[in-house]
Amino acid sequence: MEKNSVSISGKSVVGMKDFSSDEIRLVLNTARKFKQVIRGGEKKLPNLRGKAIVNLFYEPSTRTRTSFELAGKYLGADVVSITSGTSSIVKGESLRDTLRTIEAMGVDAIVMRHKSEGAADFATKAVKPIIINAGDGAHAHPSQALLDLFTIEQAKGRLAGLKVVIVGDILHSRVARSDVYAMTKMGMEVHFAGFKTMLPRFFDFDGVTVHESLEEAIKNADVINVLRIQLERQQAGLFPSTREYARVFGINEERLRLAKDDVLILHPGPQNKGLEISSEVTYCANSAIHDQVQNGVAIRMALLDLTLNGGAK
């Protein structure tokens, strides 16, 4: 355990707005230790032996669901994953009843993804197990923000003072919302770039600079976080066409030349190749997209261990 008074033991993880910089630092430092475990041969730790975790996913996921499941298993917990399509949710069971049913089975934590903003907060009030928000609509995706910070710090050796540009559909992005709270708390300089229609209408982020020109935004950037264009949430027609989006805001090698030589490229995944990012950029030496996935397991191990176990072992 960290030799200071900071603790998130027993805390539900709903959003980065509720985390202090000291709490974020605790998670990042703990993840660093777990990354060594993942890289070592023997991944089974006893930290969460006797604990039960349910992954409750109402929306599709590859990275978040699998990494939370592996994180719990690497720490010795019993982990069960439920998806909406293969549970009694398809028979019309309410979220409250589903949560209470899972609680009745004696679980210690519920990792939850839901299409509605506020679903994770609702869950914290409906049941006693620790709730970890794995994404709720366009509201928050806290473990993604933490793994983004961790990936940047691993690559750059620091966070404070770095210029990060978040490009894309900020309006629909729970990643952008969580990133901006986490990054500004850690002293980073945050910029948004996107079509005007993709920026929050009621702009409520202190200390963020907004650009409608990608070229202007990425000048001297240390980090570019390329958001996925969420085609499933684009009924409102926020841009003329995917071709137009790629032409104006797509991240390609030519545009990268405007940023610093060692600019770090992030993308939460899954990627729309040729739309928000080119294949060349995904696989270039500056890309940390693959590292983000491994770092996601370490961050989720840290979150589970610190909330369920206080990081005691």
Residues at the site binding ligand CP, with contacts judged by CB under 6 A: 61-64, 135, 144, 268-270
Active site residue 113: yes
Tell me the closest approach of the beta carbon of residue 303 to ligand CP, in angstroms.
14
Angle, nearest 10°, between helix axes 21-39 and 289-309? 110
Rounded Cα gap, residues 241 and 299, in angstroms: 36
Q: What is the dihedral of CA 81, 150, 270, 182, to 10 degrees?
A: 90
Burial, 16: exposed, middle or buried (Cβ in 10 Å; 0-12, 13-18, 19+)?
buried
Catalytic residue among 30, 64, 151, 184: 64
Q: How many CB atoms lie within 10 A of CB 64?
A: 24
Tell me the closest approach of the beta carbon of residue 45 to ligand CP, in angstroms.
23
Closer to ligand CP by CB, 21 or 282: give it: 282
Closer to ligand CP by CB, 142 or 250: give it: 142
Catalytic residue among 141, 172, 177, 185: 141
Tell me the closest approach of the beta carbon of residue 168 to ligand CP, in angstroms.
13
Helix (H) / strand (E) containing 263: none
Please answer whether residues 16 and 181 qualify as being in contact, where contact means their C-beta atoms are separated by less than 8 angstroms.
yes
Catalytic residue among 113, 114, 177, 191: 113
Query: Coil, helix or strand for 305?
Result: helix
Tell me the closest approach of the beta carbon of residue 225 to ligand CP, in angstroms.
11
Closer to ligand CP by CB, 154 or 225: give it: 225
Closest CA to 24 of 186, 204, 190, 135: 186
Active site residue 141: yes
Active site residue 64: yes
Tell me the closest approach of the beta carbon of residue 310 to ligand CP, in angstroms.
27
Q: Which residues contact 18 (CB under 8 A, 6 or more apart)?
A: none
Longest dimension (CA), the chain: 56
Closer to ligand CP by CB, 61 or 278: give it: 61
Catalytic residue among 3, 91, 196, 201: 91
Active site residue 211: no
Closer to ligand CP by CB, 57 or 192: give it: 57
Tell me the closest approach of the beta carbon of residue 64 to ligand CP, in angstroms.
3
Closer to ligand CP by CB, 83 or 209: give it: 83
Rounded Cα gap, residues 112 and 59, in angstroms: 9
Catalytic residue among 25, 35, 63, 65: 63
Q: Tell me the backbone φ, ψ of residue 21, rounded to 5 degrees.
A: -65, -35
Question: Which residues are known catalytic residues?
Answer: 63-64, 91, 113, 141
